[in-house]
A and B are shown apart, each in its own frame.
Chain A
Amino acid sequence: MAEQTDNRHIGADPNRATATDAAELQQGGPAPLPLQQGHHAATTADRGDRWTPGPALAGVAVVVALAALTRFLEQTVPAAAKGTAFAGIAAAVEFPVYAILLGLLGNLVLTRLGLRDRLAGGFRTEFFIKTGLVLLGASINFAIVLTAAGPAILQALVLISVVFGFTWWLGGRLGLDDRLRALLSSAVSICGISAAIAAAGAVQAKREQLAYTASLVVVFALPSIFLLPAIANRLGLSQAVAGAWIGGNIDTTAAVSAAGALAGEQALQLATIVKTTQNALLGVVAVALTAYFAVKVERSATSGPSTTSARPSAAQLWARFPKFVLGFLTASVIGTLYVATVGSTAAKPLIATVNDLRTLFLILAFVSIGLEFRVAPLREAGWRPVGVFAGATAVNLLVGLLLATLLFSGFSA
């Protein structure tokens, strides 16, 4: 694995390297280098190979093929199982389950064939899920967004502060590197891989630390997709509380959508609003981390003044703001105005088509989650970061449940 890492091109031409790099980072490909001790990464001159579009397009083709199979199973299995002992199960299994399981199966087959890493550039979970969320915005009345915004912002602020603080503290107690602590804290408290990427830029983390954190996010998100809706159902939570809990807890946005879809339509909408709010706060946390590392961590390490500006600017905030949030809000405004203009009867079939498109992109994202899943980097990194992440997730679950119950129990739009 270390040899594989050293053979990757990462920096000589960033514009050409990005797709492969991020695919690796999202799937945790090149992670198994030491995380808690100094490591001098190979220079860009050591990395000869370059990203080419062919394998990435083949990867996209795999995702599309598995998504088509998901759609086929989702539409045919319930009818085929009617009248059999499996009818109940077949009717209950929804598209996120088929998509993730087929993604995992594809992952296994491609790994056995030695093709998975070459095709990974096409497993674009972030792009698929964000496009799906922009389309989801069109079916959410902007009044719901405005009504939910207050409690969602309050929940996000408290949850991010508590979970980030706890993770940072626990990471320090277990002797993790400050940069890795920052990555783990951001990922578990804000929005998974996107937050880890933003934090990695803010604190100048090592590439393997980012890849490792991304692996950890996916490993924890996968069971959460199924467990949280089941627990919410068992606890008898309302759709709004379940959605707020799911949105505030599951780290990565794609997994939030999968769990929300399993919990119900209103739960999906609330989960998305809560998660989108957390995404929107990402820029603030990234800028705060930049300032903190410039002022405190780097200065104490070098015993001298930092060369990095510690004063966050509006430009930095904008640079780190996740732009798809604007697309989500714009789609909500457009959808609301459209329905108000042409009437709900005329708008209904068109909004239904938009929802079908949204489901299509969510399926592509869920298949990609399964294809990206990887456990090897976690085994090689030791138990301490896993312990920190697990502890933080437990705190996130409990505090999140408390906040969701307090803030969303009486929610109605």
Chain B
Amino acid sequence: MSDPTPTSADDGVTAARRLALNEDWAATIVGLLLLALVLTGLLPGWLVP
């Protein structure tokens, strides 16, 4: 490879990867939480625009 020291570039990539993983979990939790709220009747249809 032409660049043997990809130092801080890796930090940016690592940060992006960490965020992608966090967003994966966040989306899973928010999606399932909303589903549970609707199915248990706590989030009525009229509240959803």
Where the two chains meet, the residues of A that have a C-beta atom closer than 8 Å to any C-beta of B are 10-11, 14-15, 17-19, 21-22, 25, 37-44, 68, 71, 124, 126-127, 129-135, 137-138, 177-179, 194, 197-198, 200-201, 204-208, 210, 297-298, 301-302, 319, 322-324, 326-327, 330-331, 334-335, 338, 349-350, 352-354, 356-357, 360
Instruction: Determine how close the nearest CB of chain B comes to the CB of A210; give it in whole angstroms.
Output: 6
Option from B4, B19, B27, B44 in Cβ contact (under 8 Å) with A21:
B19
Check B21 against A44 for contact (C-beta < 8 Å). no
Check A334 against B25 for contact (C-beta < 8 Å). no
Question: 18 more A-B contacts (CB under 8 A) besides A207-B12, A357-B48?
Answer: A11-B11, A22-B16, A41-B8, A68-B49, A179-B1, A194-B20, A197-B17, A205-B13, A206-B6, A210-B12, A210-B16, A323-B24, A330-B32, A331-B35, A334-B35, A350-B45, A353-B38, A354-B38
Option from A43, A206, A298, A352 in Cβ contact (under 8 Å) with B45:
A352
Instruction: Determine how close the nearest CB of chain B comes to the CB of A344; give it in whole angstroms.
Output: 14
Query: How many residues on the B side are at the interface (Cβ–Cβ under 8 A)?
Result: 42
Which residues on B sit within 8 Å (CB–CB) of A205? Answer: 6, 9, 13
Bound form: Cα–Cα A32–B17 in Å = 21
Bound form: Cα–Cα A305–B5 in Å = 17
Instruction: Determine how close the nearest CB of chain A comes to the CB of B24; give it in whole angstroms.
Output: 4
Which residues on B sit within 8 Å (CB–CB) of A210? Answer: 12-13, 16
Scan B13-49; emit 1 where CB is below 8 A from any A CB, else 0: 1111111111111111111101100110101110011
Check B27 against A22 for contact (C-beta < 8 Å). no
Option from B32, B44, B48 in Cβ contact (under 8 Å) with A134:
B32
Which residues on A sit within 8 Å (CB–CB) of B44? Answer: 353
Measured CB to CB, the nearest residue on chain A to B25 is A323
Check A356 against B1 for contact (C-beta < 8 Å). no
Check B27 against A198 for contact (C-beta < 8 Å). no
Check A10 against B31 for contact (C-beta < 8 Å). no
Check B48 against A360 for contact (C-beta < 8 Å). yes
Measured CB to CB, the nearest residue on chain B to A135 is B31
Check A130 against B28 for contact (C-beta < 8 Å). yes
Contact residues of A: prevailing secondary structure: helix
14 contacts between A and B (CB under 8 A): A21-B12, A37-B2, A41-B12, A44-B8, A71-B49, A130-B24, A131-B26, A135-B35, A137-B31, A206-B6, A210-B13, A297-B1, A334-B39, A353-B48
Which residues on A sit within 8 Å (CB–CB) of B9? Answer: 41, 205-208
Check B12 against A124 for contact (C-beta < 8 Å). no
Q: A352-B45, A353-B38 are in contact. Are A130 and B27 (CB under 8 A)?
A: yes
Which residues on B sit within 8 Å (CB–CB) of A18? Answer: 15-16, 18-19, 22
Bound form: Cα–Cα A179–B1 in Å = 8
Q: A25-B16, A301-B4, A334-B39 are in contact. Are A323 and B28 (CB under 8 A)?
A: yes
Which residues on A sit within 8 Å (CB–CB) of B3? Answer: 38-40, 206
Q: A39-B3, A134-B35, A354-B38 are in contact. Are A22 and B19 (CB under 8 A)?
A: yes
Bound form: Cα–Cα A322–B39 in Å = 25
Option from B4, B13, B34 in Cβ contact (under 8 Å) with A200:
B13
Check A134 against B23 for contact (C-beta < 8 Å). no
Which residues on B sit within 8 Å (CB–CB) of A200? Answer: 13, 16-17
Bound form: Cα–Cα A10–B11 in Å = 6
Measured CB to CB, the nearest residue on chain A to B11 is A11
Option from B4, B27, B41 in Cβ contact (under 8 Å) with A324:
B27
Check B2 against A331 for contact (C-beta < 8 Å). no
Which residues on B sit within 8 Å (CB–CB) of A335? Answer: 35
